[in-house]
Amino acid sequence: MQHSTVQGHLVMNLVVSHELSFRLPVDLAYEADDPYAVRLTFHLPGDAPVTWYFARELLLDGISGPAGEGDVHIRPVGDELSEVRIVLHSPDGDALLCASSAPLIAFLARTDRLVPMGQEFSGRDIDAQLADLLKGRENAG
């Protein structure tokens, strides 16, 4: 049986200031049913977990160069590409997280084995979705 979910676990640093940061456990998840998205869940001490969804491609692009235009920005730190910086913008404020690139790259490689980049929806999937849409339209009319 093929698994339809890829999960990963790592520790990120939540940067409060130049002098202060906290280590946070982070769960990564990728599901074949939602092939474009990656889910990051941060476990904050004494608070409910916080979950963010963003594009798998954004994470991939951000490991090697600056990426992101909306609420999530990812970029490598330094020339060695061994660390990434993730900035999350929300109405409640911004969060700056730093993480090693290696576990993120390993996670992305596992997602690529489940659903190869660029093949998130095969032609058959698109045909099935179109048929479902047309069927719904016939029933509505």
What is the tens place of the pLDDT at every residue in 4-52? 999 999 999 999 998 999 999 999 999 998 899 999 999 888 889 999 9
Given pLDDT bands bounded at 50, 70 and 90, which one contains residue 130? low
Given pLDDT bands bounded at 50, 70 and 90, which one contains residue 124? very low
pLDDT of residue 81: 83
Give the architecture (CATH level 2) of 5-140: Roll (2.30)
The pTM assigned to this predicted structure is: 0.81
Q: How far does the chain reach from its first CA to its final CA, in angstroms? A: 40
Is the CA virtual torsion 113, 64, 9, 38 positive or negative? Answer: negative
Name the helix (H) or strand (E) containing 134. Answer: helix 123-140
Residue 1 has pLDDT above 50, yes or no: no
Computed over every residue of the chain, the mean pLDDT equals 87
Cα dihedral 12, 41, 31, 108, rounded to 10, equals -10
pLDDT of residue 134: 75
Largest CA distance in the chain: 63
